[in-house]
Structure 1
Amino acid sequence: MTESNGSAAPDQQEQNRSMPDWEKRFRAPRVSLPDWAEDAPDRSLFVSNATGTYELYAWDRATGEQRQVTDRPNGTTDGVLSPDGAWIWWFDDKDGDEFGVWRRQPFAGGEDELATPGLDPSYPAGLALGRDGRTAIVGRSTDDEGTTIHLARLNEPPAELYRHRESAGVGDLSHDGSLIAVEHTEHGDAMHSALRVLRPDGSAVAELDDTKGGTEELGLEVLGFAPVDGDTRLLVGHQRRGRWEPLVWDVATGEETDLVLDLPGDVSAEWYPDGSGLLVAHSHEARSELFRYDLTSHDLTRIPTPQGTVSGATARPDGTVEFLWSSAAQPSTVRSTTGEIVLDPPGMKSPGSVPVEDVWVDGPGGRIHALLQKPAGSTSPLPTVFDIHGGPTWHDSDAFAAGPAAWVDHGYAVIRVNYRGSTGYGRAWTDALKHRVGLIELEDIAAVREWAVTSGLADPDRLILTGGSWGGYLTLLGLGTQPDAWTLGIAAVPVADYVTAYHDEMEALKAMDRTLLGGTPEEVPDRFEASSPLTYVDKVMSPVYISAGVNDPRCPIRQIDNYVKRLEARDAVHEVYRYDAGHGSLVVDERIKQIRLELDFAARHLNA
C-alpha cells in the first residue's frame, strides 16, 4: 500500500488485459473499513489484499503514510488499535487454526512483542483495550477451561475475572476503565447471550438477562459503553419485539431506555464520539441503510447511502460518517458522507458484475427471500448454481461477491437463498432450525429450487448445489437427502460427519451445536444422526467436489476424511482438494485456484 498510483509496468499491463474478469475481482486490491484510535483519530488500521495476501496496514491520516504491519504466509485479519494510537494488537495463530496469542507492534513500526505475557495460547474470546495505555481485558477459550476473561496490565501478572464452561466473550470496557461488559451463555443457549457487568476486581455490578422468565429465550449483545468518562450507560442490542433493536442501559441505576425506531428488519447502533447520538445501521430484506439518532431530541435522520449493503460504518469526531458500501453489481468502496472516497487502493480495479433480482417463494415456514443473478442477455433455461451461505446465522445480501460473479461470467444463473436460520428476517426465522438442523434449511432451498425449475429459469438437468462452511454442510446433506434434485455438489470446508465434527471442533462451536441440536451426540444421538451428511452418504448419486483446510478448527479435517472414505468405498464420483490453511484462505492465489478447480469440476460433469 506504500506504492504510488502510477501506471503499472508494460508487462503487468498486458497481463492484466489478458486476465479474465472473474480473476481480476479476486486480485484487485481491496480494503476494509478503517478503524481509528479513539484518542488519536488520525491513526487508523485496515485490512488489505494489496500484496496478494490479506494483512493489516497502519495509516497515518495526517501524513498520508501507509505501511504493512503483518506479513505471514497465511495472512492476518484480526487486529485492534489501542485508544491512544500507540500500539497495534494482532492475533497470531498458526496457519489459520485460530489458536494463538495476542502480539502488539508500535504504530510507527518496530518489533512485535507478546502483548499479554502469562496467558497461554487459546482461541480468542474478545478483547478490549483501556485508554490508559497499559490495560487490556482479554477473553480466552480452550477445550479444557471453557471461557476465561482476564485483566492484563503492563508489568503485572494477568488476573482472572471470569470463568465458565459455557461460551462467553468480552463485550466492552467503559471509557474510564471502571466497568467491563461480558456476554455469556451460562444458561446453556449459545444462540442467546445474557450480559454481566464487572469491576476490574471481578466483582459484579449488574446483570441483564432476557433468557429468564419467558416462554422463549431472547438474546442480548453489547454494542458499547458511552464514550464519556464517568458515563455508565451501555448500548445494548435486544430481541424483545422479535428482531434486533438497540436500548440504552444505565448499569449503575438499572434504568433502561428503549429506543423504539419505526424501521422494519434488524436495527443496530453505535455511539457518536461525543455521546450525543447514535449511528444506526438498519438491515432489511438483504439491503441496509444508515441513520443518526439524536438522544436529546429523539430525531431519526437518514444518512444518504446508495442502494445496496453497508458492511460497516463509523462516525468520526468531526461528525462525518465513513462506511464500506457495495452492491452485487458494484465493488466495495470506503466512502464518506462528505462525498469522497476515503481509501482508494492503488493498482488494478475490480470489474463489476450484474445486479441481483429479488425472488420471493412461498415455503413450508413462510415466504423465502432469495437473490438471483443471471448473465446479461441470457436465455432460459440456464445451468443454475444454488450458492448457499454459511453461518447459519448469516444472510446473503445485495453486496459484491467475487465467487457468485465468477459463476455468472461462465454462463450460470446464481441463486442465493436466505433459508430459515438466516438473520435479517426476525428472531423466529433465525431460531426456526433448532433440533431439525440442516433439514429445515433444505426444505426452503427445495422450495426455491422448485420455483426456479417450474418458472423456466433453471435447467433441471444442470443444477449445482454449493456453499462454504455451513453452506458446504447443507450441500453434502442435500446431496444425500435430495439425491434426485441436484446434478452435482461442490462443498467447501463443510461439516460432513456431524458426530466427529462435534468432538474435534473448537469449544465455542460445541456449545452452539448443543444449542441447535438440544444436547451432545451422546445425549441426542438420533438428532445428530438425522442431521449428519454421513448418514446419507450412500444415497449420494451426483458427482461431489470437496475442498478442506487441513488446519480448520471449525470443520476439522478428520470428519471430512470419514465422509470421503465412504465415497471411496463404493467408487462414487468425487474429488477432494486439501490445502494448508484453516477455515478458508486469506491468500488470493489460493482462493483463485479453488475457484478455478470448482469451475473446472462443474464444466466437466455438467457436460458429461
Structure 2
Amino acid sequence: MAATSFTAPPLSAAPAAPLIERAKLFGNPSRAQLRVSPDGKYLSWLAPRDGVMNIWIAPANDVSKARPYTAEKQRPIGQHYWSGDSRMVMYVQDKGGDENFLLYGVDVASGKETLLTPFEKTRVQVVGTSKAIKDKILVGLNNRDARWHDVHLLDLGTGKLTELMRGDGFAGFLADDTLTVRMALRPNEAGGYDFFRVANNKAEDKPFSSTTLEDSLTTQPAGYTADGSTLYWLDSRNRDTAALVAQDVASGTTKIVAENPKADIGGTLTNPLTGVVEAYSVEYLMTDWTAVDPAIGADIAFLKGKLKGDVSITSRTDDDSVWTIYNDPVTGPPTAYLYKRGTKALEKLYVTWPELEGAPLVPMRGVEIGTRDGLTMTAYLSLPPGSDANGDGKPDSPVPMVLFVHGGPWARDSYGYNPYHQWLANRGYAVLSVNYRGSTGFGKTFISAGDLQWGAKMHDDLIDAVDWAVKGGITAKDKVAIMGGSYGGYATLAGLAFTPDTFACGVDIVGPSNLETLLKTIPPYWTAGIQQFYQRMGNPNTPDGLALLKERSPLYKADRIVKPLLIGQGANDPRVNQAESDQIVSAMRAKNIPVTYVLFPDEGHGFHRPENNIAFNAVAEGFLGKCLGGRAEPIGGTVKASTAQVPHGAEFTPGLADALKK
C-alpha cells in the first residue's frame, strides 16, 4: 500500500525503503512453537486454522500429514505442551483475556479434547511433571480460594484430580521426578520468601532457607535432578548477580556451577532424563550459552557455526537424539529446524513469517547508557533503513525517535527480532528500548535501585536515555515519542504528565494511571506477592506510602499534559483494570485536553487477537505520523475488522473517524 504523510516533516532525508505492511509484522505466523514429542514419533506446532492459531500435529517422519487437533474460533492458543507419555498435547486458555487459564488436553490417537480443569474463575498452574510417571502431572488450582493454589495430582488418562496439599499462605511449590512435593515457598514480612521442606504433603514448621526483599527476584529454586539428590538454585545471596548453585540435598552443602559479574544466570539446559544441568545462559547485551557437558558443547558449537544469530533449543526427545531449534537472525524472520544429533543433520522445517523474507528489516544494536547517578543501562537501538550509510550505529542525520518502554517493570528488553522495532524503524523512526533500573537480569543491586522509584529515578533513567540519543545525534530533542505497555504505559503517562515538555506525544497501552487503585485491584492470586509490591512501590496502608503512591500517579497531574496522547485498553484486563484508563481519559476530558481512547471488549492485558493488535497499531501509526512525521499505512478496514471501540477522541487521530464509519 502507498505511504501517507501527515503534518510534521521528517528530520531525515534517508531514502525511503518499501513500506512493510502491518499485517505482515503483526498477523499470524505461518507456524510457531515447533516441538518434538518425548518419544520422537510426532512433531507439533501452532498454526492458523480458519485464521486462529491452533495446535497441529504430524508424524515426525512425514510432516505432510500434519492436521489440526484443536478448533479455537476466537482467541489464539499461545502455548502447548506434550505429556510425558507422548499420548496427549495440552494447552491453557482463558476467556477474553481474563487470565483465568484452564488446562485442556487432546488425545493424539483419537483427537478427543478434554477440559482437564473444569472450573469457573480458576487459574491453573503446572506444579510438576515427571519423566518417570508419564501419565500424570501436578497442578495448582485456586478454585477453592482465589488467593491460593492447592496442589492436585492430575491423571491425564482419566482426568481425575486428587488434592494433595492446601496452598493457604504459600506462593508456590516444587516437586521432584516422582511427583512428590518437596518444597513450599511462603512470602515473609521482609519482602522475600521462606523455603520449607515438605514431607507427606505437609510443610515443616520452620523454614530451612529464606530471602529478604533484595534477593526475592534473583533467588529461587530451579529444580531437582531426577534422582532427587541435587537441588539447583539460581541464587544471589552473598553476591550481586544470581549464580547457578547445586545443593546436595542430603548434606545441604552447595557448590557454584556458574556465575557472571554482569548478569544473572538466566536459563539452564538439563538432561531430559537425569535432570542434570548440561549448559547455562547469561544475557547481558546478548544471550550467550556455555556448556557444562562437553558433548552438549559440541552440539551447541555446531549449531552456532551453521546458523546466524541467536540459537535456542526448544525441545528434546527422551533419548536426546532429536532436538527442535529456534533460530533468530534479527534481520530476518525466525526459523525452526529439526536437528538429529547422531548424524548432525539440520533440517529447516519452516520460516515463521515467510512473507518477511527479503523485506527491508534492520539490525538491532545493543548499547550501554549511563545514568546521572552512575548506573549502566543496557539498551537496544534500531534505525530506519537507509539512515546509517556508514554502518556506525548512528543515523547520518538525526531522525525522529520512539522510546519504547518495556512492561513489568520487573522484566527486561532483549536482543532479537522485534516486530515493534521493525515496524517503527520502517516508518522512519529510530527505536530505543532501555533496561531502566528495576529491570531484571542484571543483579539485585540494579533491581533494588528501582525500589520506591516509580515515576522518579526510574523515569530519570528514561530521560537520561533520551538525552543520550539527542547528544549522540540519533534524534532531535523535540522529535521523541514515548510508547509502551503495562509499566511502559505507566511510563508514557508519567512522561507526559511529569515531564510535559520532554516528549512530543505518547502511546499508552494498558498502563496504570493511579498506583493506589492499581494496588487495590490486583488479582487475588497475586496476594502472595503483595508485600513485595508494597515495599517496591509504596504501601497504601501507611500515610507515607499512600502519599508516595499519589505523588507518583499520573492521574493527579493529568492537567499538566499538553502533548497528544493515545490510549489502548482491554476491557477484561485483570492486572490493570479498565478504570485505570477510564479515569485519566475523564480527567483529560474535563480539562479539554485531547486524548484518543481505543477500547477492546474481548481483550485483557495486551492485545492477543491479531486483528485487534493490527487495528490498534494502525491507529498508533497514524497518530505517530501526525506527531513525528513518519510514514503511515492507511488505517483502511483494520478497525472495522477488529472489536475496537473508540469511546473518545477519534477526531484527534488522522483517519480514525472515517475508519469507524466504513
- TM-score w.r.t. structure 2 length? 0.79
Work out whether 1:448 is the aligned partner of 2:461. Answer: no
Matching residue of 1:66: 66
Answer whether contact 2:181 2:201 (CA < 8 A) is retained: no
Match status 1:484 vs 2:495: no
Of 331, 334, 340, which residue of structure 2 is paired with 1:332? Answer: 334
Per-residue displacement from partner, 1:521-545 (whole Å, max 9, x unpaired)?
A: 2332022113322122121111110
Partner-residue secondary structure (3-state), 1:547? strand
| Residue 76 (1) aligns with residue 77 (2) | yes
SS of alignment partner, residue 58 of structure 1: strand
Q: Is the 8 A contact 2:365 2:382 kept in 1?
A: yes
* Equivalence for 2:234: 237
1:66 partner amino acid: A
Q: Give the deviation of 1:458 after TM superposition.
A: 0.8
> Relative to structure 1, is the Cα distance of residues 276 and 469 closer, same or farther in structure 2, using a 3 angstrom cutoff?
closer
1:588 Cα offset (Å): 1.9
8 A contact 1:54–1:586 mirrored in 2: no
Mapped to 1, the partners of 2:121 and 2:30 lie a distance apart of: 31
Give the deviation of 1:561 after TM superposition. 0.8
Q: Which runs of 5+ in 1 are unaligned?
A: 1-17
> Which secondary structure state, in structure 1, belongs to the residue aligned with residue 355 of structure 2?
coil
1:115-126 equivalences under 5 Å are 115-116=116-117, 121-126=121-126
1:176 corresponds to 2:181 = no
Deviations 1:164-200, CA, capped at 9 Å, x for gaps:
346x2344x4223334444x3421567x555445356
Shift of 1:563: 1.3
| Bigger Cα displacement from structure 2, 394-403 vs 250-259 | 250-259
RMSD (Å) for aligned C-alpha atoms: 3.4
Please give the secondary structure, in 1, of the residue aligned with 2:327: strand
1:23-422 equivalences in 2 (<5 Å)? 23-27=23-27, 29=29, 31-38=31-38, 40-48=39-47, 52-64=51-63, 65-70=65-70, 71-116=72-117, 121-130=121-130, 131-141=132-142, 144-154=145-155, 158-165=162-169, 168-171=171-174, 173-182=175-184, 184-188=185-189, 192-199=192-199, 201-202=201-202, 204=204, 209-211=209-211, 219-226=218-225, 228=226, 230-240=227-237, 241-261=239-259, 264-267=262-265, 268-275=267-274, 277-294=276-293, 304-305=303-304, 308-310=309-311, 313-316=314-317, 317-318=319-320, 321-335=323-337, 336=339, 338=344, 340-341=346-347, 343-344=349-350, 348-350=354-356, 351=359, 353-363=361-371, 364-378=373-387, 379-422=396-439
Structure 1 residue 508 displacement after superposition:
4.6
SS for the counterpart of 1:147 is: coil
- Which of 579, 591, 598 matches 2:613? 591
Q: Cα 1:511–1:520, aligned 2, differ >3 Å: closer, same or farther?
A: farther
Classify 1:293/1:108 alpha carbon distance in 2 versus 1 (closer, same or farther; 3 Å). same
Aligned to 1:566, what secondary structure does the other structure show? helix
Match of 2:623 among 575, 579, 601: 601
Give the whole-Å Cα distance in 2 for the aligned partners of 1:263 and 1:136. Answer: 37
> 1:119-143 CA deviation, whole Å, 9 max, x = no partner?
6542233343455355332123479
Deviation at 1:74, TM superposition (A): 1.6
Say which structure is richer in strand: 1
Whole-Å separation in 1 of the counterparts to 2:436 and 2:143 = 32
Judging changes above 3 Å, is the alpha-carbon distance between structure 1 residues 225 and 597 closer, same or farther for their aligned structure 2 residues? same
Higher mean alpha-carbon deviation, 287-296 vs 383-392, is at 287-296
Cα contact 1:44–1:81 (8 A) shared by 2: no
* 215 and 372 in structure 1: CA distance in 2 versus 1, 3 angstrom threshold: closer
Q: Which moved more, 1:286-295 or 1:481-490?
A: 286-295
Give the C-alpha shift of residue 83 in structure 1.
Answer: 0.7
**1:311 and 1:602, CA in 2 relative to 1: closer, same or farther beyond 3 A?**
farther
Higher relative contact order (CA 8 A, sep 6+): 2
Q: Report the Cα offset of residue 304 of structure 1.
A: 4.9
Q: Deviations over 1:46-68 (max 9, x none)?
A: 44457543433334424434333
Three-state SS of the structure 2 residue aligned to 1:368 is strand
Name 1:581's counterpart in structure 2. Answer: 603
CA–CA distance in structure 2, aligned partners of residues 466 and 143 of structure 1: 39
- Measured after TM superposition, the shift of residue 427 of structure 1 is 2.0
1:431-510 counterparts in 2 under 5 A? 431-509=448-526
Aligned pair count?
A: 582
Q: Letter of the aligned partner of 1:27 in structure 2?
A: G
Q: Partner of 1:96: helix, strand, or coil?
A: coil
C-alpha distance after superposition, 1:401-426 (max 9, x if no partner)? 11121111111111111111112322
Report Cα offsets for 1:88-145 as digits up to 9, x if no partner. Answer: 232232111111432222123533223146x654223334345535533212347954
Alignment-mate amino acid for residue 163 of structure 1: G
Give the aligned partner of residue 644 of structure 2. Answer: none
* Shift of residue 297, structure 1, vs aligned partner: 13
In the aligned structure 2, how far is the partner of 1:407 from the partner of 1:258?
A: 43
Q: 1:344 corresponds to which letter in structure 2? A: Y
What are the Cα deviations for residues 315-360 of structure 1, in whole angstroms up to 9, with x where unaligned? 5433565442324323222344746255415874324621123332
1:427 counterpart = 2:448: no
Contact 1:517/1:527 (<8 A) preserved:
no
**Cα separation, partners in 2 of 1:200 and 1:219, compared to 1, 3 Å:** farther
Indicate the residue corresponding to 1:11 in structure 2: none
- Change beyond 3 A, Cα 1:51–1:451: farther
CA distance in 2, matches of 1:251, 1:258: 15
Q: Which residue of 2 aligns with 1:521?
A: 540
Query: What SS does structure 1 have at the residue aligned with 2:415?
Result: coil
User: Residue 483 and residue 512 in structure 1: after superposition, are their counterparts in 2 closer, same or farther (change >3 A)?
Assistant: farther
Question: What secondary structure does 1:553 align onto?
Answer: coil
Cα–Cα, structure 1 residues 63 and 201, in superposed 2: closer, same or farther, change >3 Å?
A: farther
For 1:478, the aligned partner's letter is G
Quote the Cα distance in structure 2 between the aligned partners of 1:303 and 1:239: 32
Amino acid of the residue matched to residue 359 of structure 1? Answer: V
Distance (whole Å) between structure 1 residues aligned to residue 507 and residue 296 of structure 2 = 53
Question: Deviation digits for residues 552-605 of structure 1, max 9, x if unmatched?
Answer: 112111221111111111111110111121112332222211111101011123
How far apart, CA to CA, are the structure 2 residues paired with 1:352 and 1:48?
Answer: 25
Letter in 1 for 2:581: I
TM-score, normalisation: structure 1: 0.85
Distance 1:61 1:377, change over 3 A: same
Structure 1 stretch 279-288 or stretch 441-450: which is displaced more?
A: 279-288
Unaligned residue ranges in structure 2 (runs of 5+): 1-17, 388-395, 630-653, 655-662
Deviations, residues 238-280 of structure 1 (Å, cap 9, x unaligned): 1232222222234344343321356752223131124385242
Cα distance in 2, alignment partners of residues 566 and 76 from structure 1: 37
CA contact (8 A) 1:152 1:159 kept: yes
Give the whole-Å Cα distance in 2 for the aligned partners of 1:431 and 1:512: 16
CA 1:215–1:388: 2 relative to 1, 3 Å: closer
Change (3 A) 1:211 1:259: same
Query: Following the alignment from structure 1 to structure 2, what is the Cα–Cα distance between the partners of residues 165 and 560?
Result: 32
State how far apart, in whole Å, the 2-side matches of 1:24 and 1:218 are: 36
